Amino acid sequence: MGWAWTRRKCASEHNDLPPWYTVYQQAQRWLAAGSFEAIVHDLRLILRLAEGRNAQPSAAIFDGRTMQSTPESGARAGYDGHKRKKGSKVHMAVDTLGHLLALHVTPANEQERAQVEKLAKAVQEVTDGHVELAWVDQGYTGEEPVQAAQEQGITLQVVKLPQAKRGFVLLPRRWVAERSFGWMARFRRLAKDYERRLGSDLVLVDFGYCWRASVLATNLYASFVPPSWAASEDL
């Protein structure tokens, strides 16, 4: 369908779709203006207040996920030796409810601990410096990530695996980030790295969280507002 859309000669061939270049240009305007990031930010504030939380979080969870590369993204992919997978690594920070705070994408061979400075700085920018604590996994151990986080006013706390674990273990706090990655993986375009440009990965993740947060906000609104038929009934 996408090929037919871009190759068609006139708009009359598909009356329900505008010319592809019109959609592309408008999408580029939204991206340049940071529209999707602003939507994610506003929806996060609404959902936090609805849960009885402060508008800005005081704690966050940092984590990374490797997305398998494809022929389109292979030129900028790296090899993750731990996951034994070639692709891109999504470095993400979420609040304690799992809502997106900050995002950063690198080749998969980049270490998670090396991205703490950039991630922590982005978190403090979107929360006005309210975050004081960040839970991380053992991939963030070492003096360098601790120092990088402290420079931004954040204390890193490593959540370690039990020494004698058997089967699946639900790690305190860390499971929130894993759930957020699970939400992201429900989108086909985010199951693998299909994008030629690195910026497209960031946009798709933002868009995915926009959709997820919009669904939560809609359900929240529906729980407070009675349906129109109920309001019209004589009680």
Q: Do 160 and 139 touch, CB atoms closer than 8 A?
A: no
Q: Is the pLDDT of residue 235 over 50?
A: no
**What's the pLDDT at 154?**
96
Average pLDDT, the chain: 82
Instruction: Using pLDDT thresholds of 50, 70 and 90, give the confidence band for residue 167.
Output: low
| Higher-pLDDT residue of 209, 30 | 30
| Tens digit of each residue's pLDDT (9 = 90 or more) over 13-54 | 556 778 888 888 988 898 888 888 888 899 899 889 988 999
**What's the pLDDT at 170?**
66
Domains of the chain from N-terminus onward: 33-161+172-221 (3.30.420.10)
225 DSSP 8-state letter: S
- Percent of the chain predicted with pLDDT > 90: 31
Q: Is the pLDDT of residue 146 over 60?
A: yes
Between the two ends of the chain, the Cα-to-Cα distance in Å is 52
**What's the pLDDT at 164?**
45
Residue with tokens 């529906």: 222
Q: Is the pLDDT of residue 126 over 80?
A: yes
From the DSSP assignment, how many helices (H) and strands (E) are in the chain?
9, 7
| Higher-pLDDT residue of 16, 195 | 195
**What's the pLDDT at 1?**
47
